[in-house]
Structure 1
Amino acid sequence: MDGKKLEYKGENALRELERLTMNAREVQEMILKEILTRNGATEYLSKYMEGSTDVAEYKCRVPVITYDEIQPYIQRIANGEDSSIISGYPITEMLTSSGTSGGEPRLMPSIAEDIDRRTYLYNLIMPIMNQYIPGLDKGKAMYLLFVKAETPTACGMPARPVLTSYYKGQHFRHRPRDPFNDYTSPDAAILCPGSHQSMYCQLLAGLIHRHHVLRLGAVFASAFLRSISFLECNWIDLANDIRSGRLNSTITDEECRSAMSALLASPNPMLADEIESICSNGSWKGIICKLWPKAKYIEAVLTGSMAQYIPMLEYYSDAKIPLVCVMYASSECYFGVNLRPLCDPMEVSYTLLPNMGYFEFIPLEDGLGLGLGLDQVKEVENDKVVGLVDVKIGCYYELVVTTFAGLYRYRIGDVLQVSGFHNNAPQFRFICRRNVVLSVDLDKTNEEDLHKSITTSKKLLEANNLILVEYTSHTDTSTIPGHYVLFWEIKCTSDDTSQIIPLDDHLLQDCCIAIEESLDYIYRRCRSNDKSVGPLEIRLVEAGTFEALMDIFISQGSSINQYKTPRCIESSVALKFLNSKVRSCFFSPRDPTWNP
């Protein structure tokens, strides 16, 4: 496709985006009306609507629900009953949530046309990016994308992560071969079910094309950093493959071998020498820009719990290229895009697109209740819920969605803050998941507060040439009183990679108290006055622990694409593993300040 056609395609997409956001209220009403018309005769909707397709009656009669309320209906379909239980169109597959933010994976119904909505959102990304960084069609994209093997439901219906569904679907496999879709990875490497072989081949392809890569990324920042760590352990083998023109014998997937053999058509000792010179140079600070010198940005989800990875990405890129978040999506529904992709990652806002589903919002006054799990706020009065265009700047809300596939007024569990409007469509900052909390007594610590408190303590580490690689938490109630436990993996940032990480008792104790001082009033009262919460504990774990933790979750069914390190560990297996990797323990040396 030539440049003029690409430009025209982009202009059309942006014009449609403007039309949708300008007419957000009308588009939302039309979407809900269409959902009710299609699905009005379903068992679920008939129970409340009694044949009516009136939008006002829907908002009055149909309750706001959590997964527990809709799960029995979904399970019946998964067991083989007709889709008409919840959807007027055949449910073609069940999408599995990652399961690492709030417990076991959930099944989300999906119909055939859902893939069109996801593709629509993906097709907006490059026109938006091209406004800020032109010329992206002049090179390749090194996107590290992965699939997971499917596990059918009882009736044989596919059950798989949403990204696996997309990558295996016709829209991706038969995508237009225009320059914006020129990936370094062959499809066979992306679709390889073995994550080790897939990652090896994708990194090898990225190195082969290193002088043509203009953008890099993965779905989540955690997956991208996992790939860099993998590269650090395997670059010698990768360079040897390039030097010899032969693929490593550990790659046994036939389609991968065939696709990679075409890339390794002949030995390339000069390229192998370049890679060896860069990777063997001691410190890996700035390694991304050294290996891919023409890269203009790194793309990944960096909001919410993924914000933890920003310092490590800046370390590996030497903070020389932008970190970009482009879209907001989930297994239940795709929501919106970031119209200012080059903004600071901590200031990312997503514009919700009114044609993706029907969106409503539960107000959380002044952030009140952010720490409450979904199981603690079961019932929501219908008249308290507001529509997409009726939210107010600065206010906090919990997102509620109605989809074509059979979710009705379903609480996603995401807490958002309105940051502004694009035309008549609101823009939101992602704050946290409501159901990720630490609690011992009356204290309730949500994901954002935990992240903020740890961010404060990280400054103490950074002043000592240390960086927090990863963390998770746990409420230890085996002690009396119970207390918060943080598992930390730290890394030395000194250019002298032989330097031993100092286990300075005072430094880690100072980190403990810095975290406690940053937590909320209730926590500090429980610690200092009520004595119902014990001193916070940091447990330092061995290098590589969190990569191994990721392997455990993947082996239990999580997708490498959708994996997010749990910010609160509930799995007994994961907790036992983490405790087996502890090097040292440090406790807060005093009570945090508290003023009644």
Structure 2
Amino acid sequence: MSCQLPALLPDYDLNDSEAGMKILEELTQNVHQIQQLVLEEIITRNAHTEYLKGFLNGQCDMQGFKNKVPVVNYEDIKPYIERIANGDSSNIISAEPIIELLTSSGTSGGQPKMMPSTAEDLHRKTFFYNLLVPVMNKYVDGLDEGKALYLLFVKPETKTPSGLMARPVLTSYYKSSNFKNRPFDRFNVYTSPDETILCSDSKQSMYCQLLCGLVQRQDVLRVGAVFASAFLRAIKFLEDNWKELCSNIRAGCVSDWITDPSCRNVVSLILSDPNPELADLIEHECSSESWEGIIKKLWPRTKYIEVIVTGSMAQYVSTLEFYSGGLPLVSTMYASSECYFGINLKPLSKPSYVSYSLIPNMAYFEFLPVNKNHEDGIRDVQCNGVCKENCSDHVETVDLVDVKLGQYYELVVTTFTGLYRYRVGDILMVTGFHNKAPQFRFVHRRNVVLSIDTDKTNEEDLLKAVTKAKVIVESLGFLLIEYTSYADTSSIPGHYVIFWELTSKGSNHLPVLDTKLMEQCCSVVEASLDSVYRRCRRKDNSIGPLEIRVVQHGTFDALMDFCVSQGSSVNQYKTPRCIKSGEAINILDSRVVGRFFSQNAPPWEPV
């Protein structure tokens, strides 16, 4: 491919799956050559940017790049991105104009990180999406004989002082001409009209997309959303609104509260005529005592459910399986705001076996070895919620073709959009190879302890929030002895639970708890978390009210005994700030003496 591929983004007929698979085979067979071409192209283009010139002095030497350009975190590049956001020239970091800033779900100083994006980057994402088509056609027959019920949504966006839009990566893609003018091949036919996807009112958008999906139920061959949490939120919305949806279908007209004119017009065209037979059928299924297998009952031709079920989304697998009726859960891709990384070349794999093959023309990939014993790591994840890897700043990076089977690495990327040797923060494990392309299992996000939706709360953020809240009880003579947390996804939407062990100053007696006071503590914790959490909680309604569970005296001693029994060291034990183990959660829950919830969603404002 290195001598036959004139461009790093080759074209092919999207309806020709064989041609698409051939490109994938060439990409995964010629990994080293393509990675060298990618790095050479990025350096040659950008050697005279302010950022790279400071290290390379205008030279385009690839070895010099790896020797002189440092591996960085977001805080290292944040000043450059903020300068562009405030009106400075793109060529600080990129020879290509930065056309927008993509807000990530990771945070910095309480605000989402902003990643640069160029016009070419949209074409690279489109190429990546198109590669998913031949893979799915290889494993699932007949996808050209119907439609996809994909629940897709846009998120809030804002303008920076320079006039650049700052918005989530998927919002950027859905609003782009690449999405709006996509070729309507057999893989791009959705039950949701674009107008419903692009509706800024999330409730109207959800209602209209579900209504369109129900009316076209016999055409639906696959259902899904980007994240498992979003799909389950749609199921909960359906549980709450199926009677009204049936009423609309029976009458052949949409509810008056759907006021977005574009949504109303396009949905009215799909609804068109009264359909009492369909309304009766849906009502029969939805009024059942149990919703087990509801997806297959409502959309009987569905072949699979497409949602991301790796990383923090793995906590939703059992709930998805309950609703699915035995349908496969398909996790097709691995991507982030920084870059689109890899594709699952075995999409029908069980969620726990999902691995992604990094596509070598997306970016230049390096890896920081993570010093972690596999067995110890599993115990850490279960007990502490986050592994304490040792990624030394002085350790040399490993190239994509040189990673070792079974080893753990942190991903480092150099992109076409102005990120150079950037630590993504994802911990991956090498599970195998497809041709010469390594396959990786996503292990977890570095330092993240709590996540329900797109929120990512780390240990430091949680500590700051708890510290502000405990001032309230300390002012009344109480002490917070210990705390820990977990993400409770047993209900939809899920919510944060924080366990507190309190005592009165000078004694071991549990204080008498005032409900209003403890609810205030819950609200203070929520208001102290970052803007992504607050947006999910207030505007998206994808996170439920935060809960504080007060436990009896001695509970955290019992937790320590359990963790030690599971292999933790007595000498090195410290209280885990997040609990993953069901047994550990049961120990805490069995000693709860009071449960309190935040009564008001925290204030939210755009980035």
Same fold (TM over 0.5): yes
Distance 1:486 1:68 in 2: 28
Aligned to 2:64: 57
Aligned to 1:204: 211
Matching residue's letter, 2:279: A
Aligned to 1:412: 424
Paired residue secondary structure (1:394): coil
8 A contact 1:162–1:331 mirrored in 2: yes
Aligned to 2:407: 395
Aligned to 1:443: none
- Go from structure 1 to structure 2 and tell me whether the alpha carbon gap of 1:304 and 1:237 turns closer, same or farther (over 3 Å shift): same
Q: Which runs of 5+ in 1 are unaligned?
A: 439-446, 451-471, 493-511, 513-540, 566-573
Distance 1:39 1:559 in 2: 40
8 A contact 2:14–2:185 mirrored in 1: no
Distance 1:375 1:86 in 2: 32
How far did residue 486 of structure 1 move?
3.2
8 A contact 2:249–2:274 mirrored in 1: yes
8 A contact 2:370–2:390 mirrored in 1: no
Distance 1:561 1:413 in 2: 27
Query: Residue 365 of structure 1 is aligned with which of 360, 371, 376?
Result: 371
- 2:311 is aligned with 1:304: yes
Matching residue's letter, 1:486: Y
- Go from structure 1 to structure 2 and tell me whether the alpha carbon gap of 1:92 and 1:408 turns closer, same or farther (over 3 Å shift): same
Distance 1:418 1:185 in 2: 37
Distance 2:170 2:85 in 1: 20
Distance 2:237 2:90 in 1: 43
Matching residue's letter, 1:355: N
Instruction: After superposing the two structures, state which structure 1 stretch, 271-280 or 383-392, moved more.
Output: 383-392
Paired residue secondary structure (1:482): strand
- Aligned pairs for 1:64-463 (under 5 A) are 64-99=71-106, 103-318=110-325, 320-367=326-373, 380-381=393-394, 384-437=396-449
8 A contact 1:80–1:154 mirrored in 2: yes
8 A contact 1:207–1:291 mirrored in 2: yes
1:356-387 CA-partner distances (Å, limit 9, x unpaired): 00000000123579989999979622x62111
Q: Percent identity?
A: 52
1:279-303 CA-partner distances (Å, limit 9, x unpaired): 1112111111111111010001100
Distance 1:394 1:101 in 2: 32
TM-score, L = length of structure 2: 0.75
8 A contact 1:101–1:564 mirrored in 2: no
- Go from structure 1 to structure 2 and tell me whether the alpha carbon gap of 1:55 and 1:489 turns closer, same or farther (over 3 Å shift): closer
8 A contact 2:100–2:164 mirrored in 1: yes
- Go from structure 1 to structure 2 and tell me whether the alpha carbon gap of 1:355 and 1:7 turns closer, same or farther (over 3 Å shift): closer
- Aligned pairs for 1:519-538 (under 5 A) are none
Distance 1:560 1:354 in 2: 39
Matching residue's letter, 1:388: L
TM-score, L = length of structure 1: 0.77
8 A contact 1:217–1:224 mirrored in 2: yes
Matching residue's letter, 2:273: S
- Go from structure 1 to structure 2 and tell me whether the alpha carbon gap of 1:155 and 1:112 turns closer, same or farther (over 3 Å shift): same
1:27-81 CA-partner distances (Å, limit 9, x unpaired): 0011000000100000000000011111100000000000000000000001011
Distance 2:539 2:385 in 1: 28
- Go from structure 1 to structure 2 and tell me whether the alpha carbon gap of 1:74 and 1:46 turns closer, same or farther (over 3 Å shift): same
Distance 1:37 1:131 in 2: 38
8 A contact 2:372–2:390 mirrored in 1: no
Aligned length: 496
Paired residue secondary structure (2:256): coil
How far did residue 480 of structure 1 move?
5.4
Distance 1:560 1:300 in 2: 23
- Go from structure 1 to structure 2 and tell me whether the alpha carbon gap of 1:31 and 1:256 turns closer, same or farther (over 3 Å shift): same
8 A contact 2:250–2:275 mirrored in 1: yes
How far did residue 187 of structure 1 move?
0.5
Matching residue's letter, 1:120: F
- 2:54 is aligned with 1:41: no
How far did residue 205 of structure 1 move?
0.5
- Go from structure 1 to structure 2 and tell me whether the alpha carbon gap of 1:225 and 1:132 turns closer, same or farther (over 3 Å shift): same
- 2:475 is aligned with 1:483: no
Distance 2:301 2:463 in 1: 38
Distance 1:489 1:31 in 2: 41
How far did residue 104 of structure 1 move?
2.5
Aligned to 1:12: 19
8 A contact 1:208–1:242 mirrored in 2: yes
What root-mean-square deviation, in Å, do the aligned CA atoms of Structure 1 and Structure 2 show? 3.5
8 A contact 2:293–2:322 mirrored in 1: yes
Distance 2:156 2:392 in 1: 37
Distance 2:483 2:206 in 1: 39
How far did residue 432 of structure 1 move?
0.4
How far did residue 129 of structure 1 move?
0.8
Matching residue's letter, 2:131: L
- 2:557 is aligned with 1:578: no
Distance 2:50 2:100 in 1: 19
Distance 1:60 1:290 in 2: 59
